[in-house]
Amino acid sequence: MSPTRTARIVVLAVLASIFTIAATGARGSDVTPVYETRAPSGNGTGKVYMGREIANVMSHRRMSRLDRPGREREERTDLLVAALPVEEDDAVADIGAGSGYFSFRVAERVPNGVVYAVDIQQEMLDEIERRKRERGVDNIETLLGRVDDPGLGEQSADLIFIVDSYHEFSHPREMGEAMYKALRPGGHLIVVEDRAESKSRSSGKLHNMTEAQARKEITTLGFSWLRTESFLPQQHFLVFQKPTSP
């Protein structure tokens, strides 16, 4: 074989492997696809991560549902906010902040700190900005995230919390890796999701998660699972921690 023909074959082989890795989302020499696809179910995307079908994103047009008057009583959001492990000068990230229901409540708990309210829908952030002006709140910063990256600085957060949003992340692996980087060592990640184990949940088949699934997906990123609290009437409250040393 001529040297030119050998060189061409080598180049083609390299290009083919680069294409395979890019197409599957695999990392390094591991070519196992991170995501799979199947026919979408009712409120699903058809994109499957670690055996779970990812749900559709809740549109900003349904924002008023997040602020419905009965929410505190139904979900005991007051207990949820009180249970977040924060100090008054902490930097806290609310990922999938929506209309800011939790961002504003948590901002009161960190009067000398900041809440980063992250969402991928600009309309949600516009509403948070409007409420900030209306209420005179100055310790919330809105951040337009990408579907695969919340856009937080490295080790910029003491605590990250995600309420009713993780199951909608279209790129949970990439989001998880970015959140890991954004959290300071020893910082906590709180994931709150409707209990999929409960037969009575009305918010839709995929707008929830089992505890086992959430633990599997988050610990694969390198977080340690500390505990799952069951004080909320409808949701799991899962507490994870980024190790203090790598």
Ligand X SMILES: C[S@@+](CC[C@H](N)C(=O)[O-])C[C@H]1O[C@@H](n2cnc3c(N)ncnc32)[C@H](O)[C@@H]1O
Q: Which of 44, 81, 90, 101 binds ligand X (CB under 6 A)?
A: 101
Phi and psi at residue 164, to the nearest 5°: 55, 30
Cα–Cα distances (Å) from 123 to 100, 120, 126, 145, 237, in that order, read 11, 9, 5, 13, 27
The β-bridge partners of 110 are: none
CA-wise closest residue to 118 among 146, 99, 142: 142
Write each residue from 160 to 199 as x if it is in contact with ligand X (CB under 6 A), else as -, in one continuous string. ---xxx--xx-----x------------------------
Residue 206 found at the interface with ligand X (CB under 6 A)? no
DSSP helix/strand/coil, 225: strand
Residues between 125 and 164 with contacts to ligand X, criterion CB under 6 A: 145, 147, 150, 163-164
In the numeric block, which tokens belong to residue 187? Answer: 């910082």
First to last CA, the chain: 49
Query: Is 35 exposed, middle or buried (CB count within 10 Å of its CB: 0-12, 13-18, 19+)?
Result: middle
Of 53 and 164, the one with the shorter C-beta distance to ligand X is 164
Q: Minimum Å distance from CB 211 to ligand X?
A: 18
Q: Minimum Å distance from CB 101 to ligand X?
A: 4
Q: Minimum Å distance from CB 215 to ligand X?
A: 20
Q: Minimum Å distance from CB 7 to ligand X?
A: 43
Of 91 and 162, the one with the shorter C-beta distance to ligand X is 162
Q: Which of 81, 93, 121, 187 binds ligand X (CB under 6 A)?
A: 121
Question: CB within 8 A of 89, min separation 6: which ones?
Answer: 110, 112, 113
Binding interface with ligand X (CB under 6 A)? 57-58, 66, 95-98, 101-102, 118-121, 124, 145, 147, 150, 163-165, 168-169, 175
